[in-house]
Amino acid sequence: MAGQALLAARGLTRDFRGFRAVDHVDLDIAPESVHALVGPNGAGKTTLFNLLTGFLPPTAGTITLAGRDVTGLPPERVARLGVARSFQITSLFPQLSAREHVELALQSPSGLGWRFWRSATLMRRYRDRADELLDMVGLAGLAEAPSEALAYGRKRALELAIALALDPKVLLLDEPTAGMGLEDVDRTVELIATVRQGRTVVMVEHNMSVVGRLADTVTVLQAGTVLVEGPYEQVRADERVITAYLGAADAAH
């Protein structure tokens, strides 16, 4: 199994001052699959995401990308090796246009740090690719719009275009439909179905209908451990998963 995985974790563990948020997780993300991480609040999904992208170093365990050990590498190195995550809206510059954001991402080798504009000629080379990416995420008509003028769903689409500028092998999406109305959810599902072509997608997603429509494999986390893993239909019918969610709902009331 590990030999076939593009991104794999073994015994991945992360403690926060004695509290174990991720507890010996084994994960195999198959190439060109959509793999969803789900689970009740506090299950460790975000922490696992941060571990896989180098934003947090693990307390124990290993992460491999195409068989190469990437454990403990900083996020920009992980990104350069082909693992990109969609950025949060807070990292957009209000006055820069959608196109300028993507152009900047294209000329930044890691996609993480914004660099100074190099030269007008060089930037023009990025323009065609930027416009292609904006078109892919449905923002072709909004290329000139300052990011602050974009509606919420469009801002999330711009984040995706920025992540795609790295041409990542693995794209990590953190709750891609969070806070969206039905129409934007549908558009985002279609968008992910498009951008997954030739890529591997890992997503944390609370909306089970979205998971059902997109994911090949679902990993359910609970209290930092893998509770169940498998195809959506199998996972949603699993008694342990139903109990975990009902338990979490009870605890919230």
* Chain centroid offset of residue 236 CA: 22
For 139-178, letters b (16+ CB in 10 Å) and e give beebbeebbeebeebbbbbbbbbbbbbbebbbbbbbbbbe
Task: Count the residues of the shown chain that bind ligand ATP, applying the rule CB under 6 A.
Answer: 11
Region near ligand ATP per CB under 6 A, out of 42-50, 67-75, 83-91, 234-242: 42-50
Q: Return the residue of 42, 146, 212, 230 that touches ligand ATP, per CB under 6 A.
A: 42
Name which position in 9, 28, 34, 39 contacts ligand ATP (CB under 6 A): 39
Smaller CB distance to ligand ATP: residue 47 or 147? 47
Q: How far is the CB of 73 from ligand ATP (least distance, A)?
A: 20
Least distance from ligand ATP to the Cβ atom of residue 38, Å: 9
Does 21 participate in binding ligand ATP (rule CB under 6 A)? Answer: yes
Q: Which stretch binds ligand ATP (CB under 6 A): 13-21, 89-97, 113-121, 207-215?
A: 13-21
- Is residue 18 a contact residue for ligand ATP (CB under 6 A)? no
61 near ligand ATP, rule: CB under 6 A = no
First to last CA, the chain: 40
Q: Which residues bind ligand ATP (CB under 6 A)?
A: 16, 19, 21, 39, 41-47
